Amino acid sequence: MNLNFSKIIFTAFIAVSLSAKAIPTPEAVEPAFDKDDNPTYVIKYGKGDRLKEDGTPLNLIQIECKGKAVDMVSEDELDECREDDSLVEMQYGWMDFATYKGWRSYHAECHVCHGPDAMGSTYAPSLMVSLQQGLSYDDFFNVIMNGRGEAEGAQKGNVMPAFGANTNVAPHVEDMYRYVKARAEGKIRRGVRLPKLPKFKEVD
């Protein structure tokens, strides 16, 4: 009797475990590539379904207007969202570890010239805008590795140095592209700060 009861409990436990949605940690997510084999990101947002143990949201908190980060929409779209709050949404989520590494690498090496959050500066162009205007991964890679002078399109008076021999940059170009692409497509808001990637669980 006790043995049969134990079997029932064990079977029920296995069934519940297998039916639960398995949510991987960001570290466990494989680096993503698009249909053309270019690096891309994995960013997931939900309704507060990925939380720390204390119930606070994880590494991304984003206010969206019409499905994009608020700093990525036009003034006209912002006016629409001010008039219709159904177009505004608070999102909670996480980015994959490769994109996170790109965020760290960009802000360690690139932001001094290209500005925080890939927004550009008076010294160097916005990489976010460059991707929006069609900069391919191949061109992104080649410019970082080989540099660019005025003859190749650098801003007048400024030269993009080559980072092919820089071990803090060269191994992370794919990841930096993922981060800048996510910024360009409005999936990460301006000013996000990610000190670490915590583990997360799903809650009902």
Contact between 10 and 17 (Cβ < 8 Å): no
Contact between 189 and 62 (Cβ < 8 Å): yes
Measure the CA–CA gap between 199 and 18, rounded to whole angstroms.
Answer: 20
The overall pTM is greater than 0.85: no
Measure the CA–CA gap between 37 and 80, rounded to whole angstroms.
Answer: 37
- The per-residue pLDDT for 67 is 85
**Ramachandran angles phi, psi of 119, nearest 5°:** -85, -10
Domain range annotation of the chain: 32-202
- Residues in the chain predicted with pLDDT less than 50, given as ranges, are 1-3, 5-22, 48-50, 55-57, 195-204
The structure tokens 């006790």 sit at: 2
**Ramachandran angles phi, psi of 60, nearest 5°:** -130, 130
Smallest CA-to-CA distance from 183 within 116, 90, 97 is with: 116
Name the CATH superfamily housing domain 32-202: Cytochrome c-like domain (1.10.760.10)
- The per-residue pLDDT for 155 is 61
Beta strands in the chain (DSSP E): 32-33, 39-40, 43-46, 50-51, 60-65, 68-69, 88-95, 201-202
- The per-residue pLDDT for 37 is 96
- The per-residue pLDDT for 102 is 94
In Å, what is the CA distance from 51 to each residue of 68, 69, 71, 94, 159? 22, 20, 24, 10, 44
